[in-house]
Amino acid sequence: MECLNEMLTRTVRIFGNKPFLITDAETITYAELNRRAARLANVLASLGVKKGDPVGLYLPSNPRLVVAYWACQKLGAIPTPMSAMYRDAEIRGIIVRTEMSVIITDQSTFPYAKAAQAESHSLKHILLWGGALEGGTALEPLLAGASDQFADVQCEPGDTANLFFTSGTTGLPKGAMQSQLSHYSALRDIMVYNRFRFGTEVFLNVLPVFNNFGTMGMMNLCIFSGATMVMHERWDTRKVLDAIKQYKVSYFAGTPTMFVYLCNEFDAKRDDLSSLRQALTAGAPVPVEILKQFEELFGVRLVQIYGTTETGVNTGEPLIGVHRLGSAGLPTGSSSIEIVDDDGQPVAVGERGEIRISGDCVGKGYWRDLETTAKTFTAKGWLSGDIGYVDAEGYLYIVDRKKDLIISGGYNIYPLEVEDLLYKHPGVAVCALVGVADAVKGEIPAAVIVAKPGNKPTSGEIIDYCRQHVAAYKAPRQVYFIDEMPLGPSGKILKRELRVWIKEGRLQVAV
């Protein structure tokens, strides 16, 4: 295997003058990335950062974040990306738990880092890109005086490569530690699975690099394969479609919600997507209707994979051979998948249970959280909290998140089944099914819907439509219309937010 800093060195040696990163503002070659990362690594070393130290990366998803990430890898420090959407309370928790001494910010994130510093005894340096502010250390003068040569620190397979704090959809964020081995295993498996051609692919990355999907699944995969990455700082559906045409993008990955938006925006007369060879989705269960619609419109199969921050990529639908619509495919590389019951015992083929993952892909656990690590990182594998089943040929099907399961009057309701149905309705653009507290049944299902322009259905139409196609207990009892879904940093719909909004009366039941 090769550690991440060795991977960058190898790619720079082979493809040094090749464009690595393309944004609206600049194009950066692999050699230039290496020089910029070396300068910042020298700056961090001068501040006392050493191998194994967490370094906070509190930046928007742009080239500065990319450079900061690779500076940490050169130094053997632990890059700790934080969502640019986080504010001082969230940042404070991460700073205190990691006891980091350095955090890298820009003008937009600095005020929140500064506010959080007051309650930290460890944070000594807030580095600031984009100019000087009181309480921050301007980075540009330090970088200007730093060498663009750096002797990379030697890393070992068991060293912590990345520290990703989850987006907190189930409560306080947990710090997932990826090892050099687990990260490399994931990159190797994705490379082989996708059948990438070294030095020829063009990626379009709209996923934030402060998130594992954007880091491992796009940026680092790009470097592993010597590809070029077109990078957008934020999601813009029209801009994505135009970029695929302009840059002849061959590979695109995103969350299911992103593909819903692409299907709704696609214009066959305007959008030339003939260069696109592969489209991949992960991050949440995918309604079958979206898989069908994308392939019909774009002429490219939308492939579903399954993976997590804690374990990398674990399954993928075969690109050749049997196509099982709705399946997340077969285990990739070192990954082993089991479906287990609440006692950790394997269940029968076709029976639903929790997905347990084992192999080199599994990370090291949660940062300074022995209790949660012990509960989930077991001797037989990592317990994902996802519900799924495996068919007789070993194909994995994702049913839902365990935490999103709705139990109504003793019946189990899996939201994805109803959401898949709702996406077939002509008036539904985006949807989510959540559980709402009920005095009699414990919970009742409620549908939250973004309607298609000019075709908004009534609440009664939605409820009747569902009851025509699924058992009555699965059909929503309430319907809420919303202009825009709350999305997490990775583009997932935040169902927890929807449940809170309903509870607090911020959403009104449609009539």
The residues that bridge with 325 in the sheet, in sequence order, are none
Is the confidence at residue 431, as pLDDT, over 60? yes
φ/ψ of residue 244, rounded to 5: -60, -40
Count of CB atoms situated within 10 Å of the CB of 373 = 18
Crossing angle of the two packed helices 4-15 and 30-46, in degrees rounded to 10: 140
Give the bridge partners for 431, in sequence order: 449
The Cα 341–Cα 273 span in angstroms is 44
Residues 201-212 have a mean pLDDT of 94
Question: Cα–Cα distance between 163 and 179 in angstroms, integer?
Answer: 9
Query: If we measure between CA atoms, which residue out of 194, 216, 214 comes closest to residue 205?
Result: 214
Q: How many CA atoms does the CB half-sphere of 14 hold within 13 Å?
A: 13
Q: How confident is the model at residue 500 (pLDDT cuts 50, 70, 90)?
A: very high
C-alpha closest to that of 487 among 261, 288, 290, 302: 261
d(C-alpha 291, C-alpha 302), whole Å: 6
Give, in degrees to the nearest 5, the angle at Cα 464 between 463 and 467: 90
What per-residue confidence (pLDDT) applies to 130?
Answer: 93
Q: How far is CA 369 from CA 175, 325, 365, in A?
A: 8, 38, 8
What pLDDT does residue 55 have? 99
The burial class, CB within 10 Å (0-12 / 13-18 / 19+), for 266 is middle
Q: Helix or strand or coil: residue 59?
A: coil
Calpha distance 374→52 (Å, rounded): 22
Q: What is the CA radius of gyration of the chain?
A: 23
Region of residue 114 (left: phi > 0; alpha: psi -120 to 50; beta: else): alpha
Residue 169 is predicted with a pLDDT of 41
Q: Does 155 have pLDDT greater than 50? A: yes
**Stronger pLDDT, 244 or 282, i.e. the higher one:** 244
Q: Which helix (H) or strand (E) holds 228?
A: strand 228-231
CB 441 within 8 A of CB 409: yes
Rounded distance, CA 107 to CA 298, Å? 39
189 or 65, which is more confident:
65
Please state the separation of Cα 385 from the chain's center in Å: 16
Asked if pLDDT for residue 214 goes beyond 80, the answer is yes
Distance of CA 401 to the CA centre of its chain: 15
Predicted pLDDT of residue 167 = 54
The torsion angle over the Cα atoms of residues 4, 8, 10 and 11, rounded to 10 degrees, is: 130
Cα gap 285→279, rounded to integer Å? 16
Low-confidence winner among 35-49, 162-176, 236-250 (lowest mean pLDDT)? 162-176
| Confidence at residue 170, expressed as pLDDT on a 0 to 100 scale | 44
What domains, with CATH codes, occur in the chain? Answer: 29-155 (3.40.50.980), 182-402 (3.40.50.12780), 405-503 (3.30.300.30)
Name the more confident of 258 and 322.
258
Q: How confident is the model at residue 504 (pLDDT cuts 50, 70, 90)?
A: very high
DSSP structural state of residue 493: B
Residues 459/479, Cβ–Cβ less than 8 Å: yes
User: Quick one: CA dihedral 153, 154, 159, 162, positive or negative?
Assistant: positive
Cβ(305)–Cβ(319) under 8 Å?
A: no
Predicted confidence at residue 471, as pLDDT, reads: 83
Nearest to 476 by CA among 489, 493, 425, 492: 425
DSSP 402: G
Strands (E), 147-227: 160-165, 175-179, 202-205
The rounded percent of the chain whose pLDDT value lies above 70 is: 98
pTM for the whole thing? Answer: 0.85
pLDDT of res. 340: 96
The widest CA-to-CA distance across the chain, in whole angstroms, is 70
Beta strand 160-165 with 406-408 is unpaired
Q: What does the pLDDT read at residue 321?
A: 64
Tokens of 235: 């999601």
